[in-house]
Amino acid sequence: MKTGLVGTILLGFALLATGNSVLAQDPPYNYAEALQKGLFFYAAQRSGELPDDNPVIWRGDSALLDGAAEGIDLTGGWYDAGDHVKFGLPMASTAATLGWAVYEYGDRLDADLLAQTKATIRWATDYFIKAHTAPEEFYYQVGDGSDDHAWWGPVEVVEEVMQRPAFAVTSSSPGSTVTAATATALAIASIIFADEAGYAATCLQHAKELFDFAWATQSDAGYAAAVGFYTSFNGFWDELSAAAAWLYLATDDPTYLAMAETAAGHWARDSSGKGRRTQNQIAYKWTHSWDDMHYMASILLARSTHEPLYIEAVERNLDYWLPGGGISYTPGGLAWLDQWGSLRYAANAAFLALVWSDTDLGGPLKKPDYVQFAERQVNYILGDNPRSSSYVIGFGSNPPHNPHHRTSHGAWYNDITAPTDNQHTLFGALVGGPDLNDNYSDDRGDYVSNEVATDYNAGLFGALIRMNAKYPGILLEGFPELDFTLPEERLPEYFVRARLLSESATSTQVITQTSNRSAWPATVRDQLKYRYFFDLAETFAAGYGVDGIVVTRGASEAGAISGPHPWGGTVYYIEVNLSGTKIYPAGRAESERDTTFTISAPSAAAWDPSNDWSHQGLVTSFTYEPVDYTGLTPYIALYDGNTLLSGLEPGDIGEPPPPPPPAIDMHVHDIDLSAASQGPRKYAVGAVTVVDVNGAWVANASVSINWSGIVSGTDTATTDSNGVVVFSSPKTKAAGTVTLKVTGITASGYKYQSQQNEASISWP
């Protein structure tokens, strides 16, 4: 039952009578923007295969094998907080609270925002329907909390790091709390999706079956995997009452209303209240949360029955939250219930206060106080606090930048401290909040004050709808595209770091580190390869071909090496192919691979690395610190398959290489010593004719020779136009044999094939 005409008139008179100024003041914040960004946060928490219109460009598909080990499809739903577990209880509470907000105030939302909000809720309810695999079987959790919390990395690669078991409750191992909470969310969905008759009917059917399952078992004996993370401290009666109350609204079946009241009879009681009625009062010193739906159910039962029991329970709780009512307040005005998620509780209480203020029940003179309380709490969250700072990421003045949230951090080394700042802005997320003295630190390591969670935003979202209806704001144009970090300002994602291990006159040895530090979004790559480019102009000029270049890879290192391959002109490259090796941002060993290679030439004349494209910028050392980018070179091109990921390919490739030599080798045709003079202290004169394989003379050849049997002397060599190399050898030998041997021949464009050509002459 919503606010009636009489209630609205009474509320208006009450506001005038109390001189309340809240209605008259200008809106201090753009509540429409806060709503818009709140929806972004829920899009960032999505699990499974993401739609094409998902606005979070740094998120990718994830956890696509959820449920596969159990033989079912459990993809979808939301990740709970800054981790990657899908906890059923807070997810159900969140979907129910968002659905309640649409039920109360959906008609006050812009049509596009309403559609987005319903799509957000449906992301969860679709998952609940999948997880409800039989009337008395429900998968309430995917992922192991302990394993998940022990690793710090982006969700897109979580399945490479750990198994994600699924946990179910059944008739023999029940969980009434989580099944009743899920029934609540689905019952609300059946109402707000009434314009989609088929989907609404599906939601209602699952809600009924889950409620029947929870009611029949009335036990949490099988709800074990979440204990220690989301333990049901309040038991299951609050969820049973809420589910039954919503099923009554969805069906008009009075049986559900009776069951809701039966469950309410089991709610916790508090005997420490004020006034005459101090005994056996319904507990009131908390607020709506993932563990306690009885505050929601109290409002529903009050409106459905008009019973004073429930009306008084609602107002006793709201009065407790008002200044002087018993709740603690920070010096800056925050109603502070608990350190863990202090803002979440204030926001939930604000939502309840606004819903009740719009109800034509209870004392009308109290309604302005409830409204003022709610607006004060929401405005505190948005920036009206001693720090003059917003607690909603990406909104207002000085908002948090480093929430305890793995994927928005964008780490790659399994290190919560690196990088220093979160790579992504988690727009719209509400952080845990300050302590009792308004102290807060934007510290990623402080998960109590600085974690975010889906349930933190749920009550705030409902309150913001109501406040935006009262103080209409303006939706941002171009959001979120205009707010993302520009590509050129992002940390490098895929790259090669390289350093020079050694270099000689004939070789270059390099060690490389191929890295995947992806975060836009994080990816698993198994087709990476890189190319190291070098210029062989000097090799060709020295008379060698490409096959004179030898490339080797370090033993037991990553990648298959090949080359040299022609690129263009005299530029060639070697390729180190890492295909088949998964490289992904989950830790040092997972995010990078080292490879050492050596390029060797046959002579100093054939090797000059100074003109090599990829030799530019090589460093002589770098560290393996998490955020070290020393040695990152753009001159080594990195590819995913055949797609260039990073780095630069050579631009000006220079002149083409010379044509291939006319013959593959040359050899000595003849050695003539017939004109040698004999005798002590005489000259020996020889001639060598050089020809190619076709027998043609090779002019301008240089010939290396060795005389044996000579005591002393110096060789000189001249070459005639017929390819005859004449040696004049002023050697000294008293007697014996003198031998001339050819040990090497070089000529531009030819390759020498070694032969043992020699001739001898004897002295008497």
Residues serving a catalytic function are 83, 404, 442, 451
Q: Are 263 and 245 in contact (CB under 8 A)?
A: no
Do 315 and 281 meet the contact criterion of CB atoms below 8 Å apart? no
The answer to whether the beta carbons of residues 417 and 411 sit under 8 Å apart is no
Number of H helices, E strands in the chain: 19, 23
CA angle 372, 375, 378 (to 5 degrees): 150
Hey, how many other C-beta atoms are within 10 angstroms of the C-beta on 411? Answer: 27
What DSSP character marks residue 478? T
CB-based contact 760:740 (threshold 8 Å): yes
Angle, vertex CA 383, rays to CA 379 and CA 388, nearest 5: 140
What is the amino acid identity at position 674?
Answer: S
476 vs 483: CA distance, rounded Å? 11
Displacement of CA 459 from its chain's centroid (Å)? 27
3-class DSSP assignment, residue 615? helix
Query: Do 493 and 559 form a contact (C-beta atoms < 8 A)?
Result: no
Q: Annotate 324-354 with b (16+ C-beta within 10 A) or e (fewer).
A: ebebeebeebbbbbbeebbbbbbbbbbbbbb
Residue 618 phi, psi (nearest 5)? -65, 135
What HEC string does 496-551 produce? Answer: EEEEEEEECCCEEEEEEEEEECCCCCCCCECCEEEEEEEECHHHHHCCCCHHHCEE
Distance from C-alpha of 404 to C-alpha of 249, rounded to nearest angstrom: 39
